[in-house]
Structure 1
Amino acid sequence: MVKEPELKRSELNKRKKKVIKPLKHKYFTAFLFVFVVLLGIFFLYLGHLYKDAQEMTTKIYSSSKITKARNTQNLLKEGKPISILLMGTDTGAVGRSFKGRTDTMIVLTLNPQKKKMTIVSLPRDALVAVTGYKQYYPSKLNSAYDYGGSGTAIKTVQNYLNIPIDFYATINMGGLENMVNAVGGITVKPLLTFSYDGHSFVKNKKTHMNGSAALAYVRMRHSDPLGDYGRQQRQRQVLTKVAQNGTKLKSLLKERFFKEIQKQLKTDITFNDMIMLALKYRVATRNMTSDHLQGEADLVSGISFEAVPETEKQRITNLIRSSLNLETATTGNTLLNSSSINTTEK
């Protein structure tokens, strides 16, 4: 089996390694946004506004344009564990919509049988060969979405870890300012003290933020000792608060809030899928396990990557496959030509 990544000795000699300390987090924010949408649709559905709920779902639906590794409709019908790839972009504020690289990539699994939800963060700079674009190797994992959209991102993650991805959801962080304002602002305790883009924050001091302040809070990166890891942690913190405020009845009744959700969320989960998720899979949110794929920061030919040891990749593959009730299998390798994903059930 070809090891991944396999680099020339000259490139290896140029590497500078630095181990990044693991970050633990309690919440998975992208899922919370999906859950907010589910609650909203289910609320509209129960309120006999079936047509409005359908129209809202139609606006956020966007096909991945690929053949999935598993039959997703059968999975939902039978209430079997499913996986969702959640991605965060940051493009709306500069005039583009759902283009560019993904700042955040997380694999979420829902297992209603075990009443358990598992969330795994993937390093955006993980060193991979993007499926369908191997001529650009070495590439970063977050470039998969930029190269070929959600379908390419799904295939690359599948091949990287040898796991099936059943659905995806993409949140545009560029629209965060409007989303925060739509829920009346948020109150958070900053994780560190800093000033950015005209706003100042003090660590652990409870602060009420409007959209502009929240956007500045999550955008700062270079002054954070944890770099991208720290920024992602702040993004999760803010999105969690927005999602929590969004689940309140007063927000669910606001037309402005749902208009913003429609602008900033794209997914291949259909209206009927969402009804099934609301009815059968909410029980899985009662218990949550969170983890992340840990890599080492490497400099290759002047470009920064995250190289993940095979043992670490295998650990995460085992975790995700187990959460999906799948048999143990060798972790994936994006350098191989085969794109077959092992979907054997236990």
Structure 2
Amino acid sequence: MHKIRKISLFVILILLIFVGYKYLSFSGLLKKTNISIGDKSKSVKNNSTLSSKKPFSVLLLGTDTGDLGRTDKGRTDTLMIVTVNPKKKTTTMVSIPRDTMVAIPGLEDTFPQKINAVYTFTDLNQTVNDISKYLNVPINFVALVNMGGLIKMVDKVGGVKVKSPLSFAYNPYTAHDTGNDLYKFIKGSTSYYHTTNGVDWTKHKTMFGNAALAFTRMRYDDPLGDYGRTLRQRLVMQALLNKAKNPTIFLSNSFFESLSKNVKTNLTLNDLLLIAKNYKKAKEHIKSYSIYGTSDWEDGVSFQVVSKTNQQRGTNIIRRSLGLSKATTGSSLMGKTQEINVPEDVTDILGQ
């Protein structure tokens, strides 16, 4: 079974900005989402950042568990650093390829590993610290969602309309276009088709949770591979943001209750209130980037090897979005191991 990259946490963050301060005060259920990571001094510093309306960053992680019968810890198949800058009125997303080759600090003897396994082998604290050092950027907050989050999010808003960038069929249980439970998406259309027996197809004009899951999971039939999947996830994200323009959709107890069961974060209720109150203008310009790597195979396993140039560009984008000075990026393989030479002109960061 192949994994899904989750986008729900970024949507939640932006929803809070769209919905606004006065609405958030109605629900205390968000308290259930809180977890404690890091030391107290960091929490105090983060609170000061939000109170002072300074730019902040959130590491968004999505695990491949919580649906389709999966209950294990899982891997973080979504890795995205989101920065919010109220002065520049910008929100910037920088995705890190889940297959990025790394040596996990303290576990270098298991090299090579994929960056999505750092959380699996360690914990949330080390994942935050390792990714922060990898790109040499500060991370104020972390949010982690399981695989059931996207389904619940889309269903709770009454479905979304998304125009597919390509035609494909996909079965969430086989991870291919085989089997009876198939979703068929048409290039340039917001309509899609679904069958449960492989014969009788039903046309739908609104994409609900299970269809959104299928739409964002397909990888091998996309000419852009995993990067194409990231693009489709962002299309669903944008559709959710459009729904957020009507804040009443998100003011039910059931909506917040569903979040509390799928989200772990060190963002406190007070933090969320401060974000909604002080960062509303950051929604005016949303910028999206992905760090690209070069394909490499090691013992039959596919990896993405990110060049030092692309890694540095990712660092530059994040630091610039936070209003910080330039700085050299971190170790190209995260942990202490032999560096790998990568052609610098093969790939580049993609901005959308």
TM over 0.5: yes
Partner of 1:203: 187
Per-residue deviation, residues 39-74 of structure 1 (Å, max 9, x unmatched) = 55734445xx3xxx2x32211112234575993222
Moved over 6 A (4+): none
Distance 1:114 1:37 in 2: 19
1:28-67 pair list within 5 angstroms: 30-37=9-16, 42-45=21-24, 49=26, 53=27, 55-65=28-38
- Kept after mapping to 1: 8 A contact 2:23/2:251: no
Q: How many residues align?
A: 304
> Against the structure 1 CA distance between its residues 85 and 201, is the aligned structure 2 distance closer, same or farther, given a 3 Å change threshold?
same
Give the distance between the partners of 1:79 and 1:250, measured in 2 at CA: 26
Say yes or no: does 1:335 pair with 2:309. no
Tell me if the contact between 1:29 and 1:236 (Cα under 8 Å) persists in the aligned partners: no
> Compared with structure 1, are the counterparts of its residues 255 and 271 closer, same or farther at alpha carbon in structure 2 (3 Å cutoff)?
closer
What are the residue-to-residue correspondences of 1:44-193 with 2, within 5 Å? 44-45=23-24, 49=26, 53=27, 55-65=28-38, 68=42, 71-96=45-70, 99-193=73-167
What residue ranges of structure 1 are gaps of 5+ in the alignment? 1-27, 338-346
Q: What is the SS of the residue equivalent to 1:187?
A: coil
- Give the TM-score of the pair, scaled to structure 1: 0.79
What's the CA shift for 1:93?
0.8
Which deviates more from structure 2 when the two are superposed, residues 214-223 or residues 119-128?
214-223
CA contact (8 A) 1:297 1:306 kept: yes
Distance of aligned partners of 1:140 and 1:153 in 2 relative to their CA distance in 1, 3 Å threshold? same
Structure 1 CA distance for aligned equivalents of residues 18 and 32 of structure 2: 16
- 1:101: Cα distance to partner? 1.0
CA distance in 1, matches of 2:155, 2:9: 18
Q: What letter matches 1:93 in structure 2?
A: D
Which residue is equivalent to 2:222? 224
TM-score (norm 2): 0.78
The verdict on how the C-alpha distance between 1:219 and 1:319 changes in structure 2, with shifts beyond 3 A counting, is closer
> Structure 1 vs Structure 2: percent identity of aligned residues?
39
- C-alpha separation between the residues in 1 aligned to 2:114 and 2:153? 29
- Gapped regions of structure 2 (runs ≥ 5): 1-6, 172-181, 192-205, 338-352
- TM-superposed CA distance for 1:100, in Å, is 1.0
What is the SS of the residue equivalent to 1:92? coil
Work out whether residues 157 and 250 of structure 2, in 8 Å CA contact, stay in contact via their aligned partners in 1.
Answer: no
Q: Distance in 1 between matches of 2:267 and 2:318?
A: 20
Q: Judging changes above 3 Å, is the alpha-carbon distance between structure 1 residues 276 and 179 closer, same or farther for their aligned structure 2 residues?
A: closer
Question: Structure 1 CA distance, aligned partners of 2:211 and 2:43?
Answer: 41
**Whole-angstrom CA distance in 2 between matches of 1:80 and 1:123:** 28
For 1:175 and 1:121, the matched residues in 2 are separated by: 19
Question: What is the distance in 1 between the residues matched to 2:72 and 2:153?
Answer: 16
Q: In structure 1, how many angstroms separate the alpha carbons of the residues matched to 2:43 and 2:315?
A: 16
Task: Go from structure 1 to structure 2 and tell me whether the alpha carbon gap of 1:85 and 1:40 turns closer, same or farther (over 3 Å shift).
Answer: same
Deviation string for 1:295-332 (max 9, x for gaps)?
Answer: 11111232211111112211221221222222222110
Does the C-alpha gap of structure 1 residues 240 and 258 become closer, same or farther in structure 2, counting only changes over 3 Å? farther
- The secondary structure found in structure 2 opposite 1:179 is helix
Residue identity matched to 1:227: G
- What letter matches 2:29 in structure 1? M
Provide the rounded CA distance (Å) in 2 between the counterparts of 1:163 and 1:64: 18
With over 3 angstroms needed to count, the CA separation of the structure-2 counterparts of 1:122 and 1:268, relative to structure 1, is: same
Q: Separation in 1 of the partners of 2:294 and 2:282?
A: 32
AA in 2 matched with 1:33: I
Does residue 212 of structure 1 match 2:210? yes
